[in-house]
Each structure stands twice: as C-alpha cells, then as structure tokens.
Amino acid sequence: MYRRALEGKEKALGRNHTSTLSTINNLALIYRDQGKLDEAEEMYQQALEGYKKALGRNHTSTLSTVDNLGALYADQGKLVKAEEMFWRALEGKEKAFGRNHTSTLSSVNNLGALYWKQSKLGKAERMYRQALEGKEKALGRDHTSTLGTVNNLGALYADQGKLVEAEEMYQRALEGYKKAFGCDHTSTLSAVNNLGALYADQGKLVEAEEMYRRALEGKEKAFGRNHTSTLSSVNNLGALYWKQGKLGRAEEMYRRALDGYEESFGYESEHCHDIRHNLHALKVISRLKHTMFYFMLFLVLLFVKLVLLR
C-alpha cells in the first residue's frame, strides 16, 4: 500500500514534497520492522536528503529522520555511524528546542543506550544521568518516561557492579510504576523481576525468591501460565532454586518452563535446548549427591566397625 501511495505522490507532488517524504519515512519504518534493514536505510537516506532540501537541517522532521537513521545503524551494528547520527540529532534538537525538551532528552537517552552497547559505561552513565535530570525537571520524578530512565540507570549500575546504586534505582522505579500503573502492569512486573535478579547477584537469595515469585504471580494473572514472559520467570525461579541447593524445586520449575516453551516454540527451539541441558546437569548433580551420601555413610560405618574391633 505504501509503495503504491509513494509512486502516486512522486508523480503528483514530486520526490521532495513533504507528503512524499513522509510516505518514504513510513515505508522505511515498515522495512525496519520486517528486518529489511538495507531497504530501510535506503528509504531513510532518501527521506533525510529530501527533508534537508525542503525544510532545512534543523527542522523537526529532518532531526526525527536523523534519529531514525541512527537507530537503524545501531540495529545493523554500525555503531560509529549510529553515534554520528545521534549526536547530529542531539545538537540540532538542543538548538531547536533547548536542553530539557523531551525530544532532546530522547536523543540523550539514545546516546546512553548506544554507549552501553559499545561498553563505554562511563559515557553511558553520563548520558543517562543527563536524561534523568532533564526529565525530572520537564516531566516530574514520577512520570513514566522518567521512570524508564531510572530503570535504565539501574540496569547500567548493575552492569558496572554498582549494586547498591542499582538497588536504589530499581526500588525507585518499582515504587513509581506501582503508583502509575498498579502492581500487575508489565512495567511494574519487569521492575520486580529486575530487583529479583539483582538480589540474586548480591547473594540475597530469600529476597530474590520473594521478587521472582511476585513477578511470576503477576505475570500469570496478566498474561496466563504459558506466555513467554511468564515462562521466563518460571525459568528464573528454577535457576534460583538451583543456586539455593533446592534441586527438587529447581527441576519442577525447569520442567514447567520446558513444557511451556515446547508448546510455544517447538521441541527444537533454543529455549528448550538450554532447559534440557540444565535438567541434565541437575540430574547428574542429584546422582552425585546421592552417591556421596552413601559413600560417606559407608565411611562412617567402616570407621565405627574399626573402632569396635580394637
């Protein structure tokens, strides 16, 4: 449909009319969603050149297309080009809107995500902190966009090993999402899950179990027992129980996750392969523990017998 619309607009209005360029941009979005990244890049480049000619370099439509092209380059793994586009978009938006406009802050956030992807964690933190401070001023501490950046900063801190700071951010995001959306919203449940993973990394296994169980119960209500997000929480509980040495419970969770993934993705899926590998490892460990128990019992009985024979 967009192809036909584009051909019609090119004939009626010309290649560089803003309506034509809007259709080109929409076609690029569709190609990106379809995974046709080369075709999407071609469309974005065409739209960008057209907008620069028609509206100028710092018009909102031009800057939006620069941003879109940056996101596409990031998807393609062309991270240097992505950084160049995101910086161009940011500088243009600062001139057009100011530092604390939501569109400017979106570009700051994009740069933070890109630097994180490049493992430039210090730069990523600076971008996320700038985005957070701007959003707090522009939107307020409890706006959902602000909370999204709080959550991102928490995840970045966790990646940096700053677990205390990560916990503070995750707790703040969780409280904010509960107020904004309620306990069973996807954003709230994601924050609960993030806290569970952080507690597991900190060795706070009781707290981790509580968070994972809360996430699981909420996802069962929101999505159903066999939704992929629910199964991910089941799998997380399996891994946690293994870490706690509760091998029977771990096996129970893994088997439930396996049944769900087989139904959703098929027997040969990567999810199923990984869980079967974990179940096999659990079985081996259980056998070893069983064998060690009887071996130790044998040694104790042997020692007692030797003592009695003296």
Summarize pLDDT for 224-242 with one digit per residue, the tens: 999 999 999 999 999 999 9
Cα gap 68→130, rounded to integer Å: 21
Cα gap 7→239, rounded to integer Å: 54
**pLDDT value of position 12:** 66
Does 91 or 263 have the greater pLDDT score?
91
State the amino acid at position 114 in one-letter form. L
**pLDDT value of position 197:** 95
**pLDDT value of position 109:** 94
pLDDT of 106 above 80: yes
Domain range 224-310, its CATH number among 1.10.3720.10, 1.25.40.10, 3.30.450.20, 1.20.1740.10: 1.25.40.10
Going by pLDDT thresholds of 50, 70 and 90, the confidence category of residue 163 is very high
Above pLDDT 70, what percent of the chain?
88
- Token pair for residue 29? 């979005």
**pLDDT value of position 13:** 67
**pLDDT value of position 299:** 66
- Token pair for residue 116? 């994180």
- Structure confidence by residue, pLDDT tens digits, 112-139: 999 999 999 999 999 999 999 999 999 9
- Structure confidence by residue, pLDDT tens digits, 252-299: 999 999 898 888 888 888 888 888 988 888 887 767 666 665 667 666
Cα gap 209→275, rounded to integer Å: 19
Does 177 or 15 have the greater pLDDT score?
177
**pLDDT value of position 295:** 60
- Structure confidence by residue, pLDDT tens digits, 191-228: 999 999 999 999 999 999 999 999 999 999 999 999 99
Going from the C-alpha of 287 to that of each of 32, 50, 237, the distances in angstroms are: 50, 68, 22
Listed in sequence order, the residues at least 6 apart from 61 whose beta carbon sits closer than 8 Å to its beta carbon are 18, 21, 22, 51, 55
Cα gap 191→170, rounded to integer Å: 6
**pLDDT value of position 19:** 85
- Structure confidence by residue, pLDDT tens digits, 14-53: 677 888 888 888 899 999 999 999 999 999 999 999 999 9
Going by pLDDT thresholds of 50, 70 and 90, the confidence category of residue 110 is very high
Q: What residue spans define the domains of the chain? A: 224-310
